[in-house]
Amino acid sequence: MTLDLFDLSGRRALVTGSGQGIGLALAKGLAGAGAAIVLNGRSRDKLEAAVTDLRAGGATVDLLPFDVTDHEAARAAIDGFEAQTGAIDILVNNAGMQHRAPLQDFPAEAFERLLQTNIASVFHVGQACARHMIGRGAGKIVNIASVQTALARPGIAPYTATKGAVGNLTKGMATDWAQHGLQVNALAPGYFETPLNQALVDDPEFSAWLAKRTPAGRWGRVEELVGACVFLCSAASSFVNGTTLYVDGGITASL
C-alpha cells in the first residue's frame, strides 16, 4: 500500500536539539510514524521531560546528551550508541540558535557561536552518523535549514549565512553519500511559533508584518512540519537527494 512508504517502524531516529520547539515536535512526529527516538540537547531537564512525554504516548525513546559543536564528543557518543544499543537509521540535524543585532554591532563571539551551533554541528553529527550508515548502505539525514537559507532580513545576517551554508552542505553531503545509499535533504521552516522566535511572536508589529508578507497569512504551527519530515525520512523519498524543502506558508514564493 502507498501508506507503507511512510512507515518508519523498525527505524531509529536521532534528533538533535529535541528538548523543545521544532526538534521535539519532529521527534513526536517521527515516533507517530513508528520510529524509535533518540533525543539530544543541552538541557537535561528539558530532555527528561521530553522523554516522559514521548514515552507516555507509547514511543520507544533513548537519551543521548552530547555537545553537537564538539567533533570528538559527537563521534564518541554516536559510535558508543551504535555499539551498545543499535543503528541510528535517521538523523535530523535540528540543533540551532539565533542572535539578533545590527550587523555593524554584531558581537564576534556571537558570530562564532552561530557558526559552531548552526553549521559546524551539522558536519560533526552528520559525519559521525554517516560513517555507520555508509557501512549499512542506507540512511536518511535531514538538516534543518530556514527561509533564511534563501532570504535575508535585517539584524540576522550571520544567522542567514549559517542557514545558507546548511543548504549547500546538504547538497555536498548528498553528492558524496548518495552513491552509498544515503538520502540527505534539508527541511526549511518559515516563521513558526517556537521558543527561538518568542520575541518576534510577542511583537504585534512584527506579527502583523508577517501576516501580510506570508501568503498563508499567519505564523506556522510546529506540527505542520511533521509531514514533510516524515516524507524525507521514509522510503517515500528514496530518490530525493540534496534538495531543500520549504515549509513556509508561501513566503519564499512571493514578493
Question: Which residues carry out catalysis?
Answer: 159
177 and 130 Cβ atoms separated by less than 8 Å: yes
Instruction: Write the CA distances from 14 to 19, 202, 250, integer angstroms.
Output: 12, 31, 29
* Cβ contacts of 15 within 8 Å, gap of 6 or more: 23, 26, 27, 30, 37, 38, 39, 40, 92, 94
How far is it, in rounded angstroms, from Cα 16 to Cα 5? Answer: 24
Beta bridge partners of 189: 247
CA distance 73 to 128: 10
Cβ neighbours for 237, distance < 8 A, ≥ 6 positions apart = 140, 183, 185, 231
- The closest alpha carbon to 194, from 222, 152, 224, belongs to 222
188 contact partners, CB below 8 Å, separation of at least 6:
144, 145, 146, 147, 149, 150, 163, 167, 244, 245, 246, 247, 248, 252
According to DSSP, residue 54 is labeled: H
52 vs 79: CA distance, rounded Å: 25
Query: What are the beta bridge partners of residue 247?
Result: 189
Cell (9 digits) for 223: 506540527
